[in-house]
Chains A and B, each alone.
Chain A
Amino acid sequence: MNIISILGVLLGWFLVAYMVLVIGFYTVILLISMLQLRRSYHLDSKKLHEEYAHEVYIKPISILVPAYNEEAGIIQSVRSLLSIQYPVFEVVVVNDGSTDETLEKMIEHYEMKPVEKVIRRTLNTEEVKTVYQSDILPHLFLIDKVNGGKADALNAGLNFSNYPYFCSLDGDSILESDAFIKVMKPILDSNGEVIASGGSIRIANGCEIRHGNILNIGLSDNPLVIMQTIEYLRAFLMGRIGLSRHNLLLIVSGAFGVFSKQWVFSAGGYLKDTVGEDMELVVRLHRLIKEKKSKEKIVYVPDPVCWTEVPEEAKYLRRQRRRWHQGLFESLSSHRELLFNPKYGSIGFVSIPYFWIIEFFGPVIEFCGYLYIIFSLFFGGIYLEFAILIFLLSCLYGSVFSMAAVLLEEWSLRKYPKVSDIIKLFLYSLTETLWFRPLTVIWRMEGIWNIIRGNSSWGEMKRKGVSE
Chain B
Amino acid sequence: MLKNEIFYIGMATMVLIILLLILLGYLIIRKTLEIKKTRILDKIKEDYQTILFNYLNGGKLSRELQTDTGVKKKAVEQLLGKFSELLEEKQIDDRLTAFAEQHLGNLYKKRLRSRSWSIRMNTLSYIDDFRMKSLLPLIIENLESASSSNEEKTLALRILASFQEPKLIGYLNRFSFLSDSDYRNILLRLDQKLFDLCVLNYHNGHENMKYAILDAIGLKKDLAYSSFLNHIFNSSQGEEKIRSMKAIVNLGYIKDPEQFIPLAESGRWEERMIAARVFGIVRDSHFIPLLIGLLHDQNWWVRSEAAASLLFIPGGREILSDISKYDEDRFARDMAWEWLHKGVI
Contacts and interface: CB of A to CB of B under 8 A. Distances in A.
Interface string A262-303: 000000000000000000000000000000000000000000
A44 interface: yes
A41 B181 contact: no
Nearest to B215: A57
B23 A404 contact: yes
Interface string A79-120: 000000000000000000000000000000000010111101
Given A47-B126, A403-B27, 4 more contacts: A381-B2, A395-B16, A407-B26, A426-B24
Contacts of B197: none
A42 B30 contact: no
A56 interface: yes
Interface string B111-139: 00000111101100110000000000000
B223 interface: no
Interface in A379-426: 381, 385, 388-389, 392, 395-396, 399-400, 403-404, 406-407, 410, 414, 417-419, 422-423, 426
Interface stretch (B94-102, B251-259, B266-274, B333-341): B333-341
A157 to B, nearest CB: 17
A5 B203 CA distance: 80
Contacts of A56: 219
A58 interface: yes
B35 interface: yes
Contacts of A453: none
Contacts of B16: 392, 395-396, 399-400
A191 interface: yes
27 contacts: A40-B118, A41-B118, A42-B116, A42-B118, A42-B122, A47-B81, A48-B155, A52-B181, A55-B185, A115-B342, A117-B338, A188-B179, A189-B181, A191-B179, A388-B9, A389-B9, A392-B12, A396-B16, A399-B16, A399-B20, A406-B27, A414-B34, A419-B28, A419-B31, A419-B32, A422-B27, A426-B27
A39 interface: yes
A190 interface: yes
Nearest to B338: A118
A414 B34 CA distance: 10
Q: Which of B31, B117, B184, B334 has the most CB of A within 10 A?
A: B31
B19 A400 contact: yes
A116 B338 contact: yes
Contacts of A389: 9
A410 B27 contact: yes
B180 interface: yes
A47 B343 contact: no
Nearest to A385: B5
A116 B344 CA distance: 11
Interface residues of A, number: 50
Nearest to A114: B343
Nearest to B333: A118
Contacts of A117: 338, 342
B300 interface: yes
A388 B118 CA distance: 44
B182 interface: yes
A48 B117 CA distance: 14
A133 B344 CA distance: 8
B125 A48 contact: yes
A337 interface: no
A342 interface: no
Interface string B7-29: 00100110010011001101110
A183 B110 CA distance: 32
B122 A43 contact: yes
Nearest to A54: B185
Top 8 A-B pairs, shortest CB-CB distance: A116-B341, A43-B118, A118-B334, A138-B344, A115-B343, A118-B338, A189-B179, A188-B181
Nearest to B24: A426
B121 A189 contact: no
Nearest to A388: B9
Contacts of B337: 116, 118
B341 A115 contact: yes
A458 B9 CA distance: 44
Nearest to A133: B343
A50 B184 CA distance: 16
Contact of A118 (B31, B126, B155, B335): B335
Interface in A30-82: 39-44, 47-48, 50-52, 55-58
Contacts of B122: 42-44, 47
